[in-house]
Structure 1
Amino acid sequence: MVYRAHHPRWAFSPLSGEGAARHGGRFNPPGMPALYTARRMQTAWAEAQQAFPFKAQPMTLCAYDVDCTDVLDLTDPGERRAQGTDGTSLACPWEDLASRGRQPPSWELAQRLRAAGIAAIIVPSFAAGATEEDVNMVFWDWGPDLPHLLRVIDDEGRLPRDDRSWGGKA
């Protein structure tokens, strides 16, 4: 099981990677969809609140069932070495590099692994105050079916089904 906290405005689309594809993220350049999740609820909250360190903003917290193959655990130093990367590359200042027109090493890694058929990676959290317990799972290939199953848990149908709850167009 993994968790994701996101802006309530997008609660009707908890499996979307569109925001990450539009803006990029630590492990995906713009144009490459990704779904960022965390292994613990506390980590998901911390990740989502990074832009608001002094005033926590409302978030929708979702839990997901995961049954996914083709996952690489980059919290393991041996696996990082096998993939030709290190902790410094994972923790690179990706936003600063991208803003200066430079390709972040974490984007290069993501593109290479995705092209090799890796569906997801397990990585340390780089949120402020993160500890070794704070681990993320970043998906590049996910859906409702095996071998890359990721399903939001909403057995009681609490999440909105479309954009109308916000007064927008569906």
Structure 2
Amino acid sequence: MSADEPVRLWRAYVPRWAHAPLSGDGAARFGGRWNPLGMPTIYATRELSTAWAEYNQGFVQHPALIAQLELRFARLAELTAADGLAAFGLTKDIHRCEWRDALDHSLVPETHRLQAELDAGFDGLVYPSFMSPGGTCVALWRWNTGEGAELKVIDPDGRLPETPASWL
């Protein structure tokens, strides 16, 4: 899937990082379903309600900043439907990968192996939300590098701070 037309995405993230809506450093620091430690990744969704559900993971409702993003020119592996999965030799079992458990046992999760395989040809992937049935998520591991995927935050009134000083 390549998006020449803008694709609207939603991202919920920790308010302390309001100045960095396009940073994937949190995912790099902690790792995630679709990225190993050290790999910056933006996790976003196609629906506002999905962003909220994914951010809170069904637990305590934490304060969040929700930003609308615009994605263009991204090469995304489509993993939401059986035919998309089959194109990569996968089944929907990939979405049930217990990635945290694998990491806890010093194993490489299947989702990380797949990300490494897809990295050469794709900027990210689209996958079904676990926390919001029917919702879709995007994991983007390459953006704003000068070519390929372009990602920008929608902030028409310039309300987002430019530095972390707003939290001091």
When normalised by structure 1's length, the TM-score is 0.89
The Cα RMSD (Å) is 1.4
Match of 1:120 in 2: 124
Deviations 1:85-134 (A, max 9, x none): 221122211111111111110110011101x220021100112xx212x1
Offset at 1:56?
Answer: 1.1
Per the TM alignment, residue 147 of structure 1 is displaced from its structure 2 partner at its CA by 2.7
Determine which of 131, 138, 141 is the counterpart of 2:133.
Answer: 131
Provide the secondary structure at the position in 2 that maps to 1:70. strand
Equivalent AA in structure 1 for residue 45 of structure 2: A
Matches within 5 A, 1:148-163: 148-163=149-164
CA distance in 2, matches of 1:71, 1:56: 30
Choose which of 56, 61, 68 in structure 2 pairs with 1:49: 56
Q: Partner amino acid for 2:89?
A: G
Q: CA deviation at 1:69?
A: 3.0
Secondary structure of the 1:112 match is helix
Structure 2 residue identity aligned to 1:124: P
Quick one: which of 90, 95, 98 aligns to 2:95? Answer: 90
Whichever residue aligns with residue 53 of structure 2, its letter is A
Structure 1: give runs of 5+ residues left out of the alignment: none
Counterpart of 2:165?
Answer: 164
Paired residue type of 1:131 = P
TM-score, scaled relative to structure 2 = 0.90
Q: How many residues align?
A: 161
